[in-house]
Structure 1
Amino acid sequence: MRLAGRRIAILLAEGVEDLEFYVPLMRLQEEGAEVVAAGLDMRPVRGKNGLEITPTATVADLRADDLFALVIPGGWAPDKLRRYPAVTDLVRAMDEAGKVIGIICHGGSVAISAGIVRGRPATGSTGIKDDLINAGATWVDAAALRDGHLVWGRVVADIPAFCRELVAALVERA
């Protein structure tokens, strides 16, 4: 229960990669964190692989000051999430506050739109490799990596490495 009492949000929209949402959620709950499923609204969404997920909060209602960390899973959801100022403003505020942000797979596209990748190492799906490079990140082909308060994961197969790095970063800051 190393993260007991810590509030962590996981971003959510239609087409989220189910495993990249649920595995970190359960791993963080296992450590005692209060995990918030943050959607664009309160309507249930269907994950990329068909699981239905009901948000417990809206992104617009979240404040960086009230969160310990943020997780951005991949799938098709990041392409939707990145279009909303409430999302990119929250990501930017979390980054400016030096709070842990976990980013996996296509979640990096939200980080790109929030303007937080320039000059930093990053990984993710090869589908956004060029986007990360064009946004000024240094591409690293690794299962998971940590750059200060940013924790990156590559793809679904790398979820165990991503979760290990994410939990390690959170416990260090707890």
Structure 2
Amino acid sequence: MAHTILMITGDYTEDYETMVPFQALAACGFTVHAVCPDKAAGDTCPTAIHDFEGDQTYSEKRGHTFTLNATFAEVNPADYDGLVLPGGRAPEYLRLNPAVLDMVRHFFEADKPVAAICHGAQILTAAGVLDGRICSAYPACAPEVRRAGGQYAEIAVDDAVTDGKLVTAPAWPAHPAWLRQFMALFP
């Protein structure tokens, strides 16, 4: 059975954390609908490339232009089997959108698989869905995860952690583990 995944993304989403799961899930037979608030299918989001170059934090460069393939205003989360939340700068503002938070809560209330990576955890914390859950994220998000009642998982940058139907990872080097654990949640 083919599964349909909702990806909520936005301007200055992390390039790899958007492009790679979008393409990898599609290559594995999933249908992925990428949406952004106030945008429609065919609209675009600029991406940012975050890299680890030995500094105290990641560097940021302009990435590609990512084309959305679905319209946010038409999304019914009940029509989707899972959710992907990429990181980057987009979660900073996406977490302020009540419709985004309602969509995220739907996936947790319906016990559907959710994958969040890097700063995607900021959306989870704002949605209030981490109480008692283990969650990894970019290390700078650890205080937010803890304040939201989550247990921050300090794992290697290329690892991921699954807690029930929630799969999280610190950053894009974890794609193999993160996507493998997420896809394993689908029958």
How far residue 160 of structure 1 moved from its aligned partner, in angstroms, is 1.4
More helix by share: 1
User: What TM-score comes out, normalization by structure 2 length?
Assistant: 0.86
Query: Which of the numbers 16, 25, 29 marks the counterpart of 1:28?
Result: 25
Pairwise CA distance, 1:59: 3.0
Any runs of at least 4 consecutive aligned residues in structure 1 with deviations exceeding 6 A, and if so which? none
Report the AA paired with residue 17 of structure 1. Answer: E
* Residue in structure 2 matched with residue 15 of structure 1 by the alignment: 12
Question: Which is greater in Rg?
Answer: 2
**2:51 paired with 1:38:** no
2:113 counterpart letter in structure 1: V
Aligned to 2:111, the other structure's residue is in SS state: coil
Deviation, structure 1 residue 159:
1.4
Which residue number in structure 1 is paired with residue 117 of structure 2? 104
Contact 2:95 2:122 in 1 (8 A): yes
- Cα RMSD after superposing both structures: 1.2
Q: Aligned with 1:56: secondary structure?
A: coil
Which of 63, 81, 85 lines up with 1:72 in the alignment? 85
Gaps of at least 5 residues in structure 2 are: 50-62
Q: Which amino acid aligns with 2:120?
A: G
Q: Which amino acid aligns with 1:120?
A: R
Q: CA deviation at 1:60?
A: 3.2
Report the counterpart of residue 81 of structure 1 in structure 2. Answer: 94
Q: 1:156: Cα distance to partner? A: 1.5
Amino acid at match of 2:185: A
Aligned length: 168
Q: 1:168: Cα distance to partner? A: 1.2
The question of whether the paired residues in 2 share the 8 Å contact of 1:82 and 1:113 is answered with yes
Q: How far apart, CA to CA, are the structure 2 residues paired with 1:159 and 1:55?
A: 21
What is aligned with 1:155?
A: 171
Secondary structure of 1:78's aligned partner: helix
Structure 2 match to 1:48: 48
**Pairing partner for 2:139 from 111, 126, 130:** 126
What is the TM-score of this pair, normalised by structure 1?
Answer: 0.92
How much does 1:109 deviate? 0.4
Deviation digits for residues 132-160 of structure 1 (CA, Å, limit 9, x no counterpart): 01111011112201111111111111111
Is the 2:19–2:66 contact (alpha carbons within 8 Å) kept by the matching residues of 1? no
CA distance in 1, matches of 2:126, 2:12: 18
- Provide, for residues 1-39 of structure 1, a one-character-per-residue CA deviation record: whole Å limited to 9, x for no partner: xxx521111111001011011111122112111111111
| Structure 1 residue 64: Cα displacement | 2.1
* Superimposed CA distance per residue, residues 96-133 of structure 1 (whole angstroms, 9 cap, x where no aligned partner): 00000101000000001111001111101001011101
Match in the other structure for 1:164: 180
3-state SS, counterpart of residue 116 of structure 1: coil
How big is the shift at 1:58? 3.0
